Every structure is written in C-alpha cells, then in structure tokens.
Amino acid sequence: MAVTGPGGTPARERVHRAAVRLFATKGFHGTGIRDLAKAANLSSASLYHYMPTKERLLADIMRSSLQSLLDAALAELDGLDDPVERLDRLVVLHVTRHAREPMRTRVVDNEVDALTPASRRDVVGIRDAYEKLWSDALDDGLRSGVFTTTRPATTRLALLDMCNGVARWFSPGGELGRNDLAEHYADLARRLVGAPPRPPR
C-alpha cells in the first residue's frame, strides 16, 4: 500500500515533487537529505525507502522528463514530412513544456553534470534522440531548399537555447499566454532558419 500524506498524495510522488522544486531552486549539490525529507514531510530515515540515493532520484527525474518530451515530440511529428511544419511543432511543444513545467525543465537543463557517468549516458542518450528530431528537420529543410541557414548545427543549438530560456522567465500573467508565446517562438524560429513566414492567424 502506498504511504500517503496531506491531501492523500503518495509519499513517492511527494519525494519527486520536493526534489524537483529543491533541485531547481537550490541545485542538486545545494540540496541536502534533510531538505528533501522536510519538503516531502518524511523523516530522513524513511526517505531512503523512496529513493536509493539522491543521485538516483535526480537521474529518475531527468530520464522520465526527457522520455516524456521525446514521446510527445514523436507523436507530434508522426506522419509529417514537411520540415517547416516539423520545426513549428517542435518549437511549440518545447516552449509549451518549458512554460508549463519550468522547475522540472530547469533541472533537466542544468543538472546533467551532477550525474554519474552511467546515469549520464542514459540521460544524454534520450536527450540526443530528442535533439536529432530537430537536426533531421533542419537537414531536410536545407535539402529541400526551404531553409537557408548556413550553420545548421549552431542554429539548432541557438533554437534550443532560446526555447529553454522560457523556463527562467515565463509568467502566466505576462504579456503572452503559454500558447501564444509558443506560436510566437515558432515565428522566430522560422526567421532563424530562413524559412517562409507563417501565414497570418
């Protein structure tokens, strides 16, 4: 039987939520076991029932987050050949996810160096599979002549860095809502790769 706490939330879920919040705000190395236990409303001793080690907890968070993003991207691109539409979909998905889950995505983006080599290989493998979707869209766009960037690898990094930044500053009460922001970023991405502008919406 799952151990639950206030509000009926299972303890394992509380541990993961607490870890995401603390790793995002204090960093992996700045977060202690006592911090995690207190935030999850558990004793330090019972915490280890829900996480073998702090590093394993970090790896689990990063793996599940990246796999979820990869699965969502594959679903978005399923059956699409047009590289422009694929890039649009990738940008909208990435920005939306970073705006909706800023703490989780900050952990994924910032803490990979805290992982052991074995865990890092697993996490980086999923990340590379996701980023290859971006590379493939750019390469296909260049081959078909709809993109004009002369530096596709650097452009891909610039696009991802631009989209990642949303997790640092986006506020639901800002000028643009999450969906409008994602669509605006898709417009910006087209300009970066030299694609035709999107039709007026």
Longest dimension (CA), the chain: 60
Determine the straight-line distance between the first and last CA of the chain, rounded to whole angstroms: 51
Set out the domains of the chain in order of their start, with CATH numbers: 6-47 (1.10.10.60), 58-193 (1.10.357.10)
The pLDDT assigned to 64 comes to 94
Count of CB atoms within 10 A of residue 88's CB? 23
Q: Which residues pair with 104 in a beta bridge?
A: none
The pLDDT assigned to 175 comes to 87
Q: State both tokens at 164.
A: 């990642």
Q: State both tokens at 151.
A: 């530096």
Cα separation of 141 and 84, whole Å? 7
Cα separation of 129 and 125, whole Å? 6
Cα separation of 63 and 65, whole Å? 6
Cα separation of 21 and 36, whole Å? 10
Per-residue pLDDT tens, the chain, 201 aa: give them.
344 444 456 888 899 999 999 999 999 999 999 999 999 999 888 888 888 889 999 999 999 999 999 999 999 999 999 999 999 999 999 999 999 999 999 999 999 999 999 999 999 999 999 999 999 999 999 999 999 999 999 999 999 999 999 999 998 888 888 999 999 999 999 999 999 887 776
- Residue listed under structure tokens 């649009």: 88
Global pTM value: 0.89
